[in-house]
Amino acid sequence: MKRILIITASILVSITAMAGRSDSVPCKRFTFGAEWNYIASFSSIIHHNFFSEIGYRVDIKDRMFEYKSNADLYLHCGLNMNENWNVSLYAGIAGVYDINKVVPISLRFTRYFRPDEKGDRWFAFLDGGSGISLSRHPQSIACGKAGGGFRLAMNQVSMLDFIVAFRMTLTHPELEFDGFSIPADKINRNNALVSAVSVGLSLTF
């Protein structure tokens, strides 16, 4: 986790330096805000490998299609590289399927399709990162999103984004077998890859 944060900080510092040397039209440099999403999860691919209470190995692979509702909430801060590109760091809390809650930290690259930072415009983005699961045995996760939306300029400094995205999260559920909770030292693999779509709102200043 510490290595991920160091790499993310290094990327932001490098981008800041590059933006500082840019000859593009001056625009508001730094941004911050909050984002909320409703998440509709529809698929989970699992691979569990562990030792049971009586010592034999259990290996389970499955794919489940089932609708689950979740939500997430993020705070974000970023940098306008020019009037069309923004890179931002997102951190918050999110629910994943019926498995667990996670604390994701991700880097988002956004492309705006109109060179007017104070006007209404469409956008698209790619977002990827890592984080931890909130469980008895916290483990690192991986997450990614691809999406887009429409930015509504509320005034000269406040922007409201309407967002639609497809997302995937690799997380690690707690395991139970035959009514017993499996301890961490008996688990070889407890992966769950969850696919979902989301709609949300983001307020940016």
pLDDT given for residue 128 in this prediction = 97
Q: How far apart are CA 79 and CA 89, in angstroms?
A: 9
Would you state the structure tokens that stand for residue 85, as one six-digit string? 């590109």
Q: How far apart are CA 188 and CA 182, in angstroms?
A: 11
In which region does residue 149 sit, left (phi positive, over 0), alpha (psi from -120 to 50) or beta (all else)? left
Q: How far apart are CA 176 and CA 156, in angstroms?
A: 53
pTM, entire model: 0.82
Q: If the chain, 205 residues long, is cut into consecutive pieces of 10 residues, what is the mean pLDDT of each piece? A: 50 46 60 98 95 90 94 97 96 90 96 89 97 86 97 93 97 86 90 97 97
pLDDT given for residue 10 in this prediction = 52
Q: How far apart are CA 187 and CA 205, in angstroms?
A: 45
Full DSSP string of 66-109: EEEEEEEEEEEEEEESSSSEEEEEEEEEEEETTTEEEEEEEEEE
pLDDT given for residue 146 in this prediction = 98
pLDDT given for residue 52 in this prediction = 87
